Structures are given as structure tokens and as C-alpha cells.
Amino acid sequence: MNRFAYQEARLVESESFVSRDRNVKIYDGDQKTDFEDGEVVLTTHRLFWGRPGEIARAAVTLCLPLSYVISLSEETTSNFFGRKTRIIMHLRPPDVSKPPGPFDTSRATHIKLSGKSGLSVEFHSALRETLNARVWEITLTNQTIIKGPLTNVNERLARIQKRTGIGGIERHLEAKAKATDENIALAFQDLSVLMAMAKDMVGLSKSISGKIREQKGEISDDETVRFKSYLLSLGIEDPVTRDNFTSNTAYFNSLAQQICEMLLDPIEELGGMMSLADVYCRVNRARGLELLSPEDLLHACEQLNGPIKLRRFPSGAMVLQLESHDDELIAIDTLEKVNAAESLAVEELANQLGISLLLAKERLLVAERLGKVCRDESVEGLRFYANLLLHRNID
């Protein structure tokens, strides 16, 4: 921080505005400072930091000449709200003639810029491009050129102007964007080829599966299971697609049948119920490249007529559940778990059963509607207890 100086936020001759970001804090090395929630402005020559509104008023703010910056790096941190990236600016020692600043001395050889949700990608990119352009060296370089042979002045000046300045930054960004577009186009070309080959791969998997059935006596069950797991890990399936049907009704009926066959065993393993969000993830994972939209999945689930059906809870949550699923039995099982623990919160039941919070909450609400349990809402949250008024043991 001893590289910063107090200066008015005004542009000097040949200096131009580049980018800005808000809610930025500065670290002196790894140590926090009092300079938080400020606005940072990047120019071709300097980096300004000020409290909100100070830079707009051209007030005295913190100023770091970009000539002090040796290199940039990043660090990623995680907190309760997610991940964010900080910019680390590695600095050379301050000049003896540096104007006064917030720190007279500092052991740190770098500073960090951080925001509440990380600095914007645009600001980070602009900072890197500006440092690469090194526009602040133009004056010194022009003086050096003038001292050289006159015949080389125009050529050398043109080279510098091409590499540096706002124009140089814009040209570099334009070239980078063009390269990105070319890479995206190439990626989609590769994806198109892969999708064209997918049908051949499906046919190959069918052929191999048929041979496995024919050679069942010569191939062990373990080898068969292992081979099928390899095929599933590749996402190779024979999904139902619209291309094979002339009407939406036939398409959704066939899709519903495939979903039923695909999810019957997993739903049984989960206790007879699976949230629609989990259904969406599992189905699209198994379908590979032929992804389903949420609307198509919902329409197909509405066509299910056994042994799985779509259920809507009063809360609005939707799940797939077995037709044999009995709310009375679920309520009794939930009551047993509440009695064993004396009381249960939604997250505690979810951990016990290995199910989502949504399903755990609906189980408790079903038990409550059937009079098995009752709720207690307090500052500690929502908990469920056995309903002693209806189920008290009378000795």
C-alpha cells in the first residue's frame, strides 16, 4: 500500500479512461485495510480508488501508477455465498520521490483487489490489456525515438502506436473476440459430427447387447453388469425422440413408458418417491446428447399410468411416486422415526433417509395431515413431534 499516493482524480495529458468497478476493497498484501466498498477507476496510466462519489467530484483519492505493476495473478476464495476471484498486483519498490500516501512503509510486495462477489470480468480483462499495452511509456519512448536516426522515426513510432494506447487495446480485444468466435464455431462443428455418429453408436450398443444375450452362458453376470455400466457411463442409450413420431400424443406416451422403465428401480430404492428435479437430472444424464426440455418431461410424466405416477402436493411440489405408495404407511414410518428421536426437523429426517429436503418436508406434512405428528414453530425453526392427543398410550 505504500505505492499509493494521494492525488486528485483528474486525467492528465494523453491519459484516457479505460474501465471502472464498484464495491472494491484493497488488501495490503494479505492484510485487510480500511479501504472497503469503494469505486476503482482504471486509466491508461493509473489506478484510482475512492469512496463512492469522490472520483466523480475529482476529489483527492488513492492513486497507483501502473508503472509500479510488475505482473498480475489471481486467487479464488469460497464463502457462504459462493466463489469469487481476487486480483493480485505484484509491485516493484516505490520511488524515493513518491508523493505522500496512506502508508509510509509496507512489507508487502503486492496488493489485492476484491469485491463482494469478485471483480467483474470486464474490469479484470481491461486491467490486463492495459498493463500489456504500457501506454504510459509512450512519452519516454517517443523521446528515445527522436534522438535516433530520422529515417527510422516514423516506422518505430507506427510500431509503438500499433501495440499501445486505447487503439491497441481495442485491436487486441477484437482479435481475441474473433479467435473466440472461431473456437466456438469449431466446437459446434465437432459436436455436429459427434451427434451424427451417435445413432451409429446406439446401433453398435444394440448389436453388442444382443450378442451378450446370445452368449449368456459364456459371459458371467459380473462381466455383463460391468459392460453395461461402461455403456451407461458413455451416455449411450436409445432415447425416444420426436423424429420417430408423427403426433405429440404418441411421442409423449412412448417417452412416458421409457421414463417408467428407466426410473422404476431408482424410485423403489429411494423409498417410493423422487422429486421432479431429480427425475429431470437422471433422465437427461441417461439420454446423453438427446436432452429433454423441462416442458417435455412434465408432459410425459403427466401421461404415466403405472406403476409410477405424477403427484402434486398442496405445497405445489411435484414428484414421481409408485402407485403402491401408501400415505398411511409413510405416515406411520415417519411417526416411528419422530418417536425414536423425540422430535425431528426437516433436515434431520432428510439426513436419516438420504432424501432431499423437499421430500422430507412432504413426508412430515403428510404425517401431519393424517394426525400422526404435530408441528412446533419457534425461533429455532420448524420441528415435528408425535401427536400425543391422538396417540397417547392409555394405561
Phi, psi of 385 (to 5 degrees): -125, 160
Provide DSSP, 293-336.
PHHHHHHHHHT--SSEEEEE-TTS-EEEEETT--HHHHHHHHHH
Residues sharing a CB contact under 8 Å with residue 255, sequence separation 6 or more, in sequence order:
240, 292, 296, 300, 303
pLDDT band for position 64 (50/70/90)?
A: very high
**For residue 144, how many other CB atoms are within 10 A of its CB?**
11
Q: How many helices (H) and strands (E) does the chain have?
A: 12, 15
Average pLDDT, the chain: 78
DSSP 143: H
pLDDT, tens digit, for every residue of 134-144? 888 875 545 44
Provide DSSP, 328-388.
HHHHHHHHHHHHHHSSEEHHHHHHHHT--HHHHHHHHHHHHHTTSEEEEEETTEEEEEE-H
Residues sharing a CB contact under 8 Å with residue 198, sequence separation 6 or more, in sequence order:
288, 289, 290
pLDDT of residue 161: 46
Residue type present at position 344: L
Rounded to whole angstroms, how far apart are CA atoms 382 and 387? 15
**For residue 268, how many other CB atoms are within 10 A of its CB?**
14
pLDDT band for position 180 (50/70/90)?
A: low
Question: Is the pLDDT score of 221 beyond 80?
Answer: no
pLDDT, tens digit, for every residue of 229-287? 555 554 445 677 777 777 888 888 888 888 888 888 888 887 788 888 888 888 888 77
**Bridge partners (DSSP) listed for residue 63:** 5, 48
